[in-house]
Amino acid sequence: MLTESAPKTSLSLDRRQRAMLKEMGVQVWQPLAKAAPPLAVTPVAAPALKAPPSAIDSEAARPDVQAASRTIDVPKQVVQAPKAVAPAPRAPSTATNTTSGTSVWRIGKLQTLYTPQSLASAARWLVLMESPASALQEPFKPFDGDAGKLLDNMLRAAHLHTAGSAMLATLVRANNAGGSGGDLTAELADVLASAQADVVLVMGRLAAQAMLQSTEPLAALRGQIHRLHGAKTIMTIDPAYLLRNPLDKAKAWDDLCLAISVAAAS
């Protein structure tokens, strides 16, 4: 059964009466103290904030910057541009074999690259390849190392491994400190006579210039048929250069295709 509680009333009890009621377990409610009136708050004006300078404001308009500029202002130094240095003159070409130069070209011994084929229609090839001086030492193995593997791939792509004869002779630019050396023209004639090649493939820029006694760049010597003592000759890029510049392999392949067409027409 729900009953409504009587409203609590405030009793005016002294200290002794409150102590007696407390001992009896009676809770005595005390009136709440009246809340103090709120203090009057006097509004205080906020100090004016200085607007930050704009990013595009000129520093000359700011007095602090002007003072700093006057303090650290130093005379500007005039920097002179370096004088142009004239390029050094290019050394004359030593592509040809001379007795007064500091180097001569030597032709190594002929060696067979692949087993000769007995086909009557098979062409005879001679490869003259620009090589380091160590190539004159015997035995020289043209297919050793990365450059040798690339050479083998190039010649096999041109079907020299199925040719009637595929021979190679190294072209070496040797030291000529003593001022004496072999006759390149005579050596070349002997090698060509021994090889009896239908097509000659000269590999290397300096070697091509030496064989033709020319100072033209290899780009001007490629893509055409030359004659070395009557033998049809094609100039191309050597494998060592192609390892450093693989993008030029397409140019070397064009030269091989030209040599193949020359050999087929022989």
Interatomic CA distance for residues 162 and 122, integer angstroms: 8
Gap between the Cα atoms of 210 and 94, Å rounded = 8
The pLDDT tens digits for 178-214 are: 445 567 888 999 999 999 999 999 999 999 999 999 9
CATH architecture, domain 103-265: 3-Layer(aba) Sandwich (3.40)
Integer Cα distance of 159 and 147 in angstroms: 18
pLDDT of residue 229: 93
pLDDT of residue 40: 59
Mean pLDDT by 10-residue block, N- to C-terminus, for the chain (266 residues)? 48 69 63 57 54 44 45 48 51 40 79 83 92 82 94 94 93 68 82 95 96 95 96 96 96 96 91
Task: State the pLDDT at residue 185.
Answer: 87
CA distance 228 to 178: 28
Please give the pLDDT value at position 116: 83
Distance CA 60, CA 176 (A): 74
Looking at residue 52, what is its pLDDT? 47
**Dihedral pair phi/psi, residue 230, rounded to 5°:** 90, -15
pLDDT of residue 65: 40
pLDDT of residue 23: 67
Q: What pLDDT sits at residue 97?
A: 47
User: Positive or negative CA dihedral for 95, 96, 100, 105?
Assistant: positive
Q: What is the pLDDT of residue 138?
A: 72
- The per-residue pLDDT for 168 is 96
Task: Check residue 155 and give its pLDDT.
Answer: 95
CB 232 within 8 A of CB 218: no
Domain ranges of the chain: 103-265
Q: What is the residue type of 1? A: M
Where helices occur in the chain by DSSP H, the ranges are 15-23, 63-72, 145-157, 184-195, 205-212, 218-221, 239-244, 249-265
